[in-house]
Amino acid sequence: MAESLRHPFLQGLSKHRGAPPTVVVIFGASGDLTARKLIPAVYNLAHDNLLPADFYLVGYGRKPIPDDEFRTLATDAIKEFSRREMSPEVWARIAPRTSYVAGGYDDKPAFDRLAAHIADIEKKIGREVQVLFYISTPPSVFAPILLNLGASGLAGKHLGKSHHAKVIIEKPFGKDLTSARELNVTIRSVFEEYQVYRIDHYLGKETVQDLLVQRFANAIFEPLWNRNFIDSVQITVAEEVGVGTRGGYYEQSGCLRDMIQNHTMQLLALTAMEPPVSMDAEAVRDEKVKVLKAIQPLVLGPNGDVARAQYAAGMMAGKSVPGYLQEGGIAPESGTETYAAIRLSINNWRWQGVPFYLRSGKRMARRVSEIAINFKRPPGTLFSKDGGFDLAANTLSFQIQPDEGLSLIVNTKIPGLETRTQPVKMSFRYATTFGSNTPEAYERLVLDAMIGDGTLFIRGDEAETSWGLYTPVLDHWKAEGRKGMDSYAAGSWGPPSGDALLMKSGHQWRQP
């Protein structure tokens, strides 16, 4: 109540979305993602009274952990990572229903024990429950987990009923088109597509969801959302951090796999998709797939549509940091990119001739994720450069992190006796309008999976379409080795090749 009084925009929002009695099983329960995101997400959903009355949390992992110890680990995770302080009253509602099952991911008898444990819960409460399996493990064990869920009968539990079993699969969803297809085959041998929720946490962020609202709920934007009024679109996902202790993992991934193919392409799909016929999950996902299929194959090689680079030594926050090749676990002749920039062309009626520029990198000037819609400049008949005016292009930007919100750059007259113009920024920030304690992305996504809303999840054909675009790039880079690899100083906004990608069309990167 106090929160609603402080922030009147929050008044009247629903606090219950109809999840049936649910058991959430987390595979990889002792992992970092579970501690940092999943346990706090469950706790905050409980704090907001969004969990069903009959809710149970079951951890599963190779390491034997007594139930009491797992509850202690969960308590510590909430205290350290939750957006809210630990409330003993709230945790007391979850703790007695939190348990742990130990077993290997390729251990069929352990999955049978898990099935028996869930059956005991149903017997205890006298009701059937839906089971939500969250696979938060390295991708190497995705297949054994999926196959054992099928062999134990857990995947088919209550199939055909409203509370059927569901599975959430964390990224990376494959490492190229072939592996993505193989994983989809494995999934479909065990689960129906409507049971599957491929997660990309970017889709749970408030500003990403707000993108659809801004486009389709405001008449001042949608009529302009096309080639007639938009000059270009830029999507930036920049990180300040380097690879740190994750050098071994990053050598097998690289920027294109780690950020561009998934997070950045999801932002593009929501920006460029056609209006869906409804907000039904399949209607939205149909339009996302359509626009991805309309993207033209990338031109590779010199003067192509792709640039890549590695960060070199530089300064970050006044401190000297090493280059990528000097980081631990990195091969001296590594051909793994820490920065990638892409120029995309969408061959459909709405976007023909409008370039979409994507970039992502580590050790960049600052941490920021944003979508910038650059509108065409007005005719220079009234306010021309010859007349002493230098009008800025109108730009609508959606900032996804760290400070969620949006801004619009418009030209305005400077007060005074002369007519002079200056661009100004009109901004909206979630923290200012609604308070800083907005839900984390995983809270929204876990809740949506529980109630069966797949809108913010990735469908199998969508993942394959995205990989189909980028697998030729990965194959080309692998064949080239370090040939064509550029570099950029840590703390900068990227390499010259990334800038040149835009200069060919008379554009330049916006500095967020």
Q: Is the pLDDT of residue 202 over 60?
A: yes
CB within 8 Å of 293: residues ≥ 6 apart: 465
Residues 149 and 221 placed together within one structural domain of the fold: no
| Residue at 177 is within a domain | no
> Cα–Cα distances in Å, from 185 out to 102, 206, 457?
27, 32, 18
Domain of residue 166: give its range. 2-170
Residues 31 and 77 placed together within one structural domain of the fold: yes
Looking at 116, 150, 170, the residue that finishes a domain is 170
Tokens 């352990």 belong to residue = 110
| Residue at 88 is within a domain | yes
Decide: 341 and 497 in contact? Cβ < 8 Å.
Answer: yes
> 321 or 433, which is more confident?
321
Residues 247 and 166 placed together within one structural domain of the fold: no
Residues 165 and 214 placed together within one structural domain of the fold: no
> 264 or 162, which is more confident?
264
Question: Which residues on neighbouring strands pair with residue 230, listed in sequence order?
Answer: 375
Q: Dihedral, CA atoms, 459, 371, 293, 308, nearest 10 degrees?
A: -100
Q: Is the pLDDT of residue 1 over 60?
A: no
Looking at 152, 170, 188, the residue that finishes a domain is 170
- Strand ranges inside 84-214, DSSP E: 98-102, 130-135, 166-169, 196-198
| Residue at 192 is within a domain | no
Q: Is the pLDDT of residue 10 over 60?
A: no
Q: What is the mean pLDDT of the chain?
A: 91
Residues 313 and 408 placed together within one structural domain of the fold: yes
Q: Is the pLDDT of residue 98 over 80?
A: yes
Count structural domains, the chain.
2
Residues 404 and 356 placed together within one structural domain of the fold: yes
Residues 46 and 108 placed together within one structural domain of the fold: yes
| Residue at 453 is within a domain | no
Q: Residue 78's pLDDT is what? A: 96
Q: Residue 140's pLDDT is what? A: 93
**Span 194-223, mean pLDDT?**
91
> 306 or 439, which is more confident?
306
Q: Are strands 319-321 and 230-238 parallel, antiparallel or unpaired?
A: unpaired
pLDDT tens digits, one per residue of 364-416 = 999 999 999 999 987 766 776 666 667 788 999 999 988 889 999 998 888 88
Q: Is the pLDDT of residue 4 over 70?
A: no
Neighbours of 72 (CB within 10 A): 13
| Residue at 237 is within a domain | yes
| Residue at 182 is within a domain | no
Looking at 170, 195, 217, the residue that finishes a domain is 170
Q: Residue 387's pLDDT is what? A: 65
Q: Residue 87's pLDDT is what? A: 94
| Residue at 190 is within a domain | no
Q: Domain with 74 in it: what CATH number? A: 3.40.50.720
Q: Domain with 305 in it: what CATH number? A: 3.30.360.10
Residues 369 and 220 placed together within one structural domain of the fold: yes
Q: How many CA atoms lie within 13 A of 344 on its CB side?
A: 30
| Distance, CA of 20 to chain centre | 26
Q: Is the pLDDT of residue 109 over 80?
A: yes
Residues taking part in catalysis:
263
| Residue at 219 is within a domain | yes
Q: Residue 150's pLDDT is what? A: 97
Q: Is the pLDDT of residue 304 over 90?
A: yes
Residues 391 and 329 placed together within one structural domain of the fold: yes
d(CA 497, CA 480): 16
Q: Dihedral, CA atoms, 30, 32, 38, 39, nearest 10 degrees?
A: 60
Residues 414 and 289 placed together within one structural domain of the fold: yes
Tokens 């024990």 belong to residue = 113
Residues 261 and 360 placed together within one structural domain of the fold: yes
Question: Which residues on neighbouring strands pair with residue 238, listed in sequence order?
Answer: 361, 368
Decide: 81 and 35 in contact? Cβ < 8 Å.
Answer: yes
Residues 233 and 164 placed together within one structural domain of the fold: no
Hey, what are 161's tokens? 């009923």
